[in-house]
Amino acid sequence: MSLEKTYPKEVKQILAKYPPEGKRSAVMPLLFLAQREPGYITKAAIEDIAQILDITTTEIDAVITFYTLYHQEQGGKYRIQVCNDLPCALRGADKFLEDLCENLAIKVGETTPDGAITLEAVACLAACNNAPMFQTQGPDGIKYHENMTVAKTLDLIQTLKHAGKEAE
């Protein structure tokens, strides 16, 4: 199913943001839209966007591979992306990530056996004052979770699993 058929309103809104000579600007928002349901960018979506914007699939591949928030493979339904850069690490982010791995019995980069959660370590998320922190990336977008503990994170994961959609 093409993006224009699945999300006609959203595609129209996105294209309206840019002038005709800057149509290609829509590639990034369209990729986010294409990723919303499957959790990664499918081959069909790339061909679809190439057609909408009149650019090549290679040009779209170049964009996808440059940015970390686009995924080329199926991960967990939610990705938990923990910042462990310098400021967060000074406030216990490394230990938090280590303990979280132990509790989930997976390593960084792996997905829980039930396919619910992929755990990732990411670069600074601009929330250094509220470490340890992470963002969740899933079907309902990206959300920040700050001043976290392992216990709070495990609770959140339970909520994510059961509700099928994220709680605040």
Contact residues for other proteins, defined by CB under 8 A = 17-19, 21-22, 24-29, 31-32, 53, 55, 59, 62-63, 66-70, 85-87, 89-91, 122-131, 135, 141-144
Q: Which C-beta is closer to other proteins: that of 1 or that of 67? A: 67
Q: Which is nearer to other proteins, 22 or 113 (CB)?
A: 22
In this structure, the number of other CB atoms found within 10 A of the CB of residue 28 comes to 15
d(CA 158, CA 112): 13
Q: Which C-beta is closer to other proteins: that of 58 or that of 114?
A: 58
Rounded to 5 degrees, φ, ψ at 145 are -135, 115
Q: How far is the CB of 47 from other proteins (least distance, A)?
A: 17
Radius of gyration of the chain (CA): 18
Q: How far apart are CA 31 and CA 48, in angstroms?
A: 10
In the bound complex, what is the minimum distance in angstroms from residue 31's beta carbon to other proteins?
7
Q: How far is the CB of 162 from other proteins (least distance, A)?
A: 23
Give me the sign of the Cα torsion angle 103, 108, 113, 118: positive
Of the pair 9, 114, the CB lying nearest other proteins is at 9
Q: Least CB distance from residue 126 to other proteins, whole Å? A: 4
Burial class (CB in 10 A: 0-12, 13-18, 19+), 75: buried
CB of 120 to other proteins, least distance (A): 11
* 103 versus 149: smaller Cβ distance to other proteins: 149
Q: What is the CA 98 to chain-centroid distance, rounded? A: 21
